[in-house]
Amino acid sequence: MANIQQVAKHAGVSVATVSRVLNDQNTVSSKTRLKVEEAIKELNYEPSMLGRNLRNSESRIVLILIPTISNPFYLEIIKGIENVAISHNYNILLCETDSDPEKENIYFDLVRKKMADGIISMDPAVNVETLKQLAEKYAIIQCSEYGGGIGIPYVTIDNEEASYRAVKHLLQIGHTKIALMNTDEKFLYARERKMGYERALKEHGIEMNNNYIFYTKDLGFENGQQAMKKILNLKQRPTAVFAVSDLLAIGALKEINASGLSVPGDMAVVGFDKIDFSNMTNPTLTTIAQPMYKMGTTAAKMLIEKIRGNKVDSVVLDFELVIRESTAG
Amino acid sequence: MANIQQVAKHAGVSVATVSRVLNDQNTVSSKTRLKVEEAIKELNYEPSMLGRNLRNSESRIVLILIPTISNPFYLEIIKGIENVAISHNYNILLCETDSDPEKENIYFDLVRKKMADGIISMDPAVNVETLKQLAEKYAIIQCSEYGGGIGIPYVTIDNEEASYRAVKHLLQIGHTKIALMNTDEKFLYARERKMGYERALKEHGIEMNNNYIFYTKDLGFENGQQAMKKILNLKQRPTAVFAVSDLLAIGALKEINASGLSVPGDMAVVGFDKIDFSNMTNPTLTTIAQPMYKMGTTAAKMLIEKIRGNKVDSVVLDFELVIRESTAG
DNA sequence: TATGAAAATGTAAACGATTTCATTGTGGAA
DNA sequence: TTCCACAATGAAATCGTTTACATTTTCATA
């Protein structure tokens, strides 16, 4: 495997000149450029990024931290990040933390050890203290899930308002007994979405009923099934459920179907995220569409700015309520 | 940011000694080791992987090539690869090719330029010629999808047999008019699965009927819907469908439901892959379970062996037929 | 033709680790 | 005490680039 020295010798020039050709510098005469390019061809030379990266003190790799790759919610965001990254000559390392601080630390080490130039964190369970500390020295952006007020730039939607709109939709089509399927309130978005839920109810003169609020440990399909089981067992059974993730909602859907009830006839269901699958279920799912691709591209652009050493501001993007069969009574 | 020189100076030793401490070499006296460790603490030193990688001529990064991140089939495989990789101190770069040779080439360049130590390819549409050429110089393993006979080690299941078993199951529960929803036969697995389909039919004295075979461009949900639409319009309508991917099958499911027919009463459906979502549909999907996690770990171990310069052999893993509601008539 | 600014090229020092080989230090045996 | 084997340490080369600075070349102008 040839290196730049050999190319230089073969072309009869210095390594500096070869490097200039490689980096498209305009200070090379077309004659020598040709010589060099020929040598490169003949030797089948490929510049080593290891050498270049060391010299430039960069890795051109950015980390994406997600709790699990199994939640399709992240897929579109990742695509957005990826496209921007690639067009800026960055590559992405997808890091599944399983919300495990130990795994998390492996990845944090990657930036400490210069193997990564920055991080986009989408893990709501991330250790905020560590992250904050890391952010003092390294480029970090939070995407979709963020610890508030810790001074790290983020991109998100207005969760309170989105939740409000979802619940309001249920109220408008006549529901008054509406259950909330939420996650642990240690997560900011969980608290925000509950607030939106409460505001919508209040606005319609309905008092929030704690018996109608269910907390799940995770955002997965099974969690939705289990929670729905409990809801169906209530003596005062609600007529609608608002779940804070599509996977939860799909679990609910499955459970309702299994119990012989029908959606939306007996029970309306609203999800959150608009993952691909939300359109594949039977019935299709009413949900809040997060602008996932846009979130990804935005976060990536912010990160690259940050890596360049510029200051960046947080961004709040628009969402949309998508009404489909699961509430189209 | 401290470097090894400064640590050496601070500890009053040479850089060689610091490096020895870093790499756990036993030739360091416990006294100096202590001094060095103290200096590392005090200076908050983190060894740079850029320097180390250059010196060692390795990146400790491996590439995973997949056509699209949207097909959940790959998720479990990726997890398997990831776990093995991490435990061997490798990191993985997830590369979405969109089956676009140009994007593919960006990633191939990464290994040519030493930014990656090897590739696990799961892209059936990969440019086999390039891959073959690359495999002469770099470590490459094919996982799940493979170009046959090109001398690159692969891990897969017996697609012909799996398909045979799926169709045989349908025959055994009484179906005789069975449609096949396949993809382009330029893919080896598509040809193999068709052969299995044919063998099962033949064994039951049924001649293969080309009107019952449908080709889709991709393996997505929409492709399944479209193909099912055609199937439902046949005058001699089949009573069962075998789709070569779960996403196709789920699209079919959706279309059957939409047309007012019921599964499995009017139409039985079998998928392939056992993705998570195949258990969330209504009804749940009968499918061929590929040992995805195992495929991932196996491929990763093979790749690491290959990187080390050892010869590795291809592997064929077991599959399983999982019978669920969509055929439980 | 001599001059000098601008353009083209070269030299050598980084970047930050690992490792070979040489050197020094240590302790036990004679 | 002397010597030797072996353990511990250090000096310096190396991995493959980029780039500041120095040097040479070119060429229009006086």
Q: What is the DSSP string of A209-224?
A: -GGGEEEESSSSHHHH
Q: What is the mean pLDDT of chain B?
A: 94
Is the Cα torsion angle A190, A191, A195, A196 positive or negative in sign?
Answer: negative
Give pLDDT, residue A6.
Answer: 96
Give pLDDT, residue A86.
Answer: 95
Query: Which of residues 9 through 48 in chain A touch B, CB cutoff 8 A?
Result: 46-48
For residue B254, give every residue at least 6 positions away whose Cβ sits within 8 Å of its Cβ, in sequence order, or none: A280, A282, B221, B224, B225
Q: Given an 8 Å threshold on Cβ–Cβ distance, is B54 in contact with A59?
A: no
The vertex-B175 CA angle with B170 and B181, nearest 5°, equals: 65
Q: Which residues of B74-83 are buried (b: 16+ CB within 10 A; e: fewer)?
A: bbbbbbbbbe
Give yes or no for residue B329 having a pLDDT over 70: no
B155-209: per-residue pLDDT in tens? Answer: 999 999 999 999 999 999 999 999 999 999 989 999 999 999 999 999 999 999 9
Q: What gap in Å lies between CA A205 and CA B109, rounded to an integer?
A: 62
* Helix ranges restricted to H, chain B: 4-11, 15-22, 30-43, 49-56, 73-87, 101-112, 128-137, 159-172, 188-203, 221-233, 246-258, 292-307
Q: Given an 8 Å threshold on Cβ–Cβ distance, is B94 in contact with A94?
A: yes
Under 8 Å between Cβ of A304 and A84 = yes
Q: How far, in Å, is the CA of A33 from the C1' of nucleotide D26?
A: 17
Asked whether this chain's domains B59-157+292-317 and B159-290+322-327 adopt the same fold, the reply is yes
Multiple choice CATH, A159-291+322-327, 1.10.600.10, 3.40.50.1980, 3.40.50.2300, 3.20.20.140 = 3.40.50.2300
For domain B159-290+322-327, say whether CATH 3.40.50.170 is its number.
Answer: no
CB pairs under 8 A between A and B: 110
Of B258 and A145, the structure prediction assigns the larger pLDDT to: B258
Under 8 Å between Cβ of A95 and A63 = yes
- The closest nt to B14, taking CA to C1', is D10
Give pLDDT, residue A223.
Answer: 97
Q: How far, in Å, is the CA of A28 from the C1' of nucleotide C8?
A: 6
B113-165: per-residue pLDDT in tens? Answer: 999 999 999 998 888 889 999 999 999 999 998 776 788 999 999 999 999 99
- Extract the residue ranges of chain A whose pLDDT is less than 50: none
Q: What gap in Å lies between CA B111 and CA B63, rounded to an integer?
A: 8
Instruction: Decide: helix, strand or coil at residue A121.
Output: strand
When scoring B69, B107, B136, B246 by the number of chain A Cβ atoms within 10 A, the one with the most, hence best to mutate, is B69
Give pLDDT, residue A165.
Answer: 98
Give pLDDT, residue B149.
Answer: 73
CB B32 within 7 Å, strand D: yes
Q: Under the phi-then-psi rule, with left for phi > 0, alpha for psi from -120 to 50, and beta for the rest, what region is A114? A: left
- Tell me the β-bridge partners of A95: A65
Length of chain B: 329
Q: What gap in Å lies between CA B15 and CA B215, rounded to an integer?
A: 64
For domain A4-47, say whether CATH 1.10.260.40 is its number.
Answer: yes
Give pLDDT, residue A139.
Answer: 97
Half-sphere exposure at residue B182, Cβ-oriented, CA atoms within 13 angstroms: 25
Domain boundaries, chain A: 4-47, 59-157+292-317, 159-291+322-327
Phi, psi of B246 (to 5 degrees): -60, -40
CB B34 within 7 Å, strand D: no
- The closest nt to B33, taking CA to C1', is D8
Give pLDDT, residue B27.
Answer: 87
- Closest CA of chain B from A69, distance in Å: 7
Q: What fold characterizes domain A59-157+292-317? A: Rossmann fold (3.40.50)
SS (H, E, C) B116-178: CCEEEECCCCCCHHHHHHHHHHCEEEEECCCCCCCCCCEEEECHHHHHHHHHHHHHHCCCCCE
- CB atoms under 10 Å from CB of A151, counted, come to 9
Q: What gap in Å lies between CA A324 and CA A275, rounded to an integer?
A: 13
Q: Given an 8 Å threshold on Cβ–Cβ distance, is A51 in contact with B48?
A: no
**Which residues in chain B have Cβ-Cβ distances shorter than 8 Å to A78?**
69
For residue B229, give every residue at least 6 positions away whose Cβ sits within 8 Å of its Cβ, in sequence order, or none: B255
B150 touches chain A (CB under 8 A): no
Section B12-24 average pLDDT: 94
Residues A90, A96, A100, A106, Cα dihedral to 10°:
-40
Write out the two tokens for A228. 């729905």
Q: What gap in Å lies between CA B236 and CA A324, rounded to an integer?
A: 33
Under 8 Å between Cβ of B160 and B195 = yes
B93 touches chain A (CB under 8 A): yes
Give yes or no for residue B315 having a pLDDT over 90: yes
